[in-house]
Amino acid sequence: MKAKELVNLSDAELEARLDELKTELFNLRFRHAGGQLDNPMRINLVKKDIARVNTVIRARQLNG
């Protein structure tokens, strides 16, 4: 997900997206610990997406 796509989302949509990503990260970590994860790089991509969403949320808080 690109940051430009996130800027167009509303606050509620951003919060929902953040919840989805955190749930996905939990599931990926759980599967990775069990040795069932096919693509371990997906964990890093989800972490970066979480950071992007948090960055957009924080920028909106600072701008008012």
Task: Quick: pLDDT tens for 1-24.
Answer: 788 899 999 999 999 999 999 999
Indicate which CATH number applies to the domain containing 17: 1.10.287.310
Q: What is the pLDDT of residue 4?
A: 87
Nearest to 43 by CA among 32, 54, 55: 32
pLDDT, one tens digit per residue, over 28-38 is 999 999 999 99
pLDDT at 27 over 90: yes
Q: How would residue 64 be classed by pLDDT, with cut points 50, 70 and 90?
A: confident
Looking at the structure of the chain, the number of domains it has is: 1
Domain range for 47 is 3-63
Q: CA-CA distance, 22 to 34, in Å (whole number)?
A: 19
Q: What is the pLDDT of residue 63?
A: 92
H helices present in the chain, as ranges: 3-7, 11-33, 41-63
